[in-house]
């Protein structure tokens, strides 16, 4: 059988890397091309991709559409894993995919589910609706909150190497910390995606891929059991979150929309929707109409949060966004 041809946009990023690793390890034969912006062609991440045998091609969403169409002609599946800053660049990409006859377009999402406003407004309204307007075959994939976002700061400092800065505190907990959050290991995100994109049941559907459901308190309790250290938590009240959202909205409005300012706003909105409004739970995803990875792939061997914590404590994680 000929390989399933996949063009992945944003393969140099964190999600993109997880997806490429999974495509390479999958039993399905994938022919992979990575698309990277011209200014990123010399990134060390692209060098690594080339060393791994991946064809890296420059693409420019601001250039002529025909060039994009040429690049995507013959591609079965386009997977976009662009960062938040590149979300709107997917509009010309989707148009080119339609013209090139791509059989499935997977826009960048891979986030905990929320109501289709606030944090995900631009993604859902501008990108997802545009894909449907084009009548482009799609799969929208959301992924539970990465475990990697919950690596606690410990008194011993053992986990510092793997932590990335969190504007909400060292070990933040929204509200009372008793709201269920759907979670997955970033290393599993790509493995879920590699299965979803070749599954006929997921064509023109939304899929929610997650491994664990735990509250923030349960997450840090588990981290305490694994580490035998205390995890000092900073509780962020709903009132404080509202104030953070209002402040971020004001900055975005007054300064114009810099990607960092928008990211801060969206992070606060995400925290509110997930930690307070209970919008990342499987029940809420079900209400929104998502298929669940639990139903689709009951055989999936996922990394548990406890095993993830053991890796974190044993120095086995790769620092993200470094």
How many chain residues touch ligand NAP (CB under 6 A)?
24
Which is nearer to ligand NAP, 40 or 217 (by Cβ)?
Answer: 40
Distance CA 162, CA 20 (A): 21
Out of 57, 65, 85, 243, name the contact with ligand NAP by CB under 6 A: 85
The two most distant CA atoms of the chain are separated, in Å, by: 58
Q: Does 83 bind ligand NAP (CB under 6 A)?
A: yes
Q: Does 212 bind ligand NAP (CB under 6 A)?
A: no
Q: How far is the CB of 2 from ligand NAP (least distance, A)?
A: 27
Q: Tell me which residues in 90-109 interact with ligand NAP (CB under 6 A).
A: 108-109
**Where are the strands (E) in the chain, listed by range?**
4-9, 30-36, 55-58, 77-80, 104-106, 139-143, 145-146, 172-174, 180-184, 205-209, 212-215, 234-236, 291-292
Tell me the residue nearest to ligand NAP as measured from the CB.
13
Q: Does 36 bind ligand NAP (CB under 6 A)?
A: yes
**Where are the strands (E) in 138-223, listed by range?**
139-143, 145-146, 172-174, 180-184, 205-209, 212-215
Q: How far is the CB of 162 from ligand NAP (least distance, A)?
A: 14
Q: Does 275 bind ligand NAP (CB under 6 A)?
A: no
Q: How many residues does the chain have?
A: 322
Q: Does 110 bind ligand NAP (CB under 6 A)?
A: yes
Which is nearer to ligand NAP, 111 or 206 (by Cβ)?
Answer: 111
Nearest residue to 214 via CA among 164, 150, 267: 150
The alpha carbon of 57 is separated from its chain's Cα centroid by a whole number of angstroms, namely 22
Interacting residues with ligand NAP (CB under 6 A): 10, 12-16, 36-37, 40, 81-83, 85-86, 89, 108-112, 143, 145-146, 149
């Amino acid at each position: 059988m000929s390989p399933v041809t996949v063009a992945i946009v944003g393969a140099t990023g964190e999600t993109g890397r997880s997806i490429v690793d999974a495509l390479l390890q999958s039993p399905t034969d994938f022919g992979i091309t990575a698309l990277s912006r011209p200014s990123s062609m010399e990134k060390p991440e692209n060098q690594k991709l080339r060393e791994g045998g991946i064809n890296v091609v420059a693409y420019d969403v601001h250039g002529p559409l025909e060039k994009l169409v040429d690049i995507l002609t013959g591609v079965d599946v386009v997977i976009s894993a662009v960062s938040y800053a590149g979300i709107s660049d997917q509009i010309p990409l989707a148009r080119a995919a339609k013209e090139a006859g791509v059989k499935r377009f997977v826009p960048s999402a891979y986030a905990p589910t929320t109501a289709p406003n606030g944090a995900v407004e631009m993604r859902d309204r501008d990108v997802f609706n545009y894909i449907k307007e084009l009548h482009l075959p799609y799969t929208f994939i959301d992924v539970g909150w990465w475990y990697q976002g919950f690596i606690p700061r410990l008194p011993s400092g053992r986990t510092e190497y793997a932590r990335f800065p969190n504007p909400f505190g060292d070990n933040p907990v929204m509200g009372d910390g008793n709201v269920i959050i759907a979670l997955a290991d970033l290393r599993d995100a790509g493995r879920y995606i590699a299965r979803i994109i070749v599954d006929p049941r997921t064509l023109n559907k939304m899929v929610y891929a997650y491994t664990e459901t735990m509250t923030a308190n349960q997450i840090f309790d588990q981290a305490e059991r694994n580490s035998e250290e205390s995890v000092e938590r900073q509780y962020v009240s709903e009132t404080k979150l509202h104030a953070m959202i209002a402040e971020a909205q004001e900055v975005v409005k007054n300064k114009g929309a810099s990607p960092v300012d928008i990211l801060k706003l969206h992070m606060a909105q995400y925290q509110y929707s997930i930690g307070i409004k209970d919008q990342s739970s499987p029940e809420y995803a079900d209400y929104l109409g998502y298929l669940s990875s639990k139903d689709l792939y009951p055989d999936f061997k996922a990394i548990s949060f406890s095993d993830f914590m053991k890796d974190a404590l044993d120095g086995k994680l790769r620092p993200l966004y470094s």
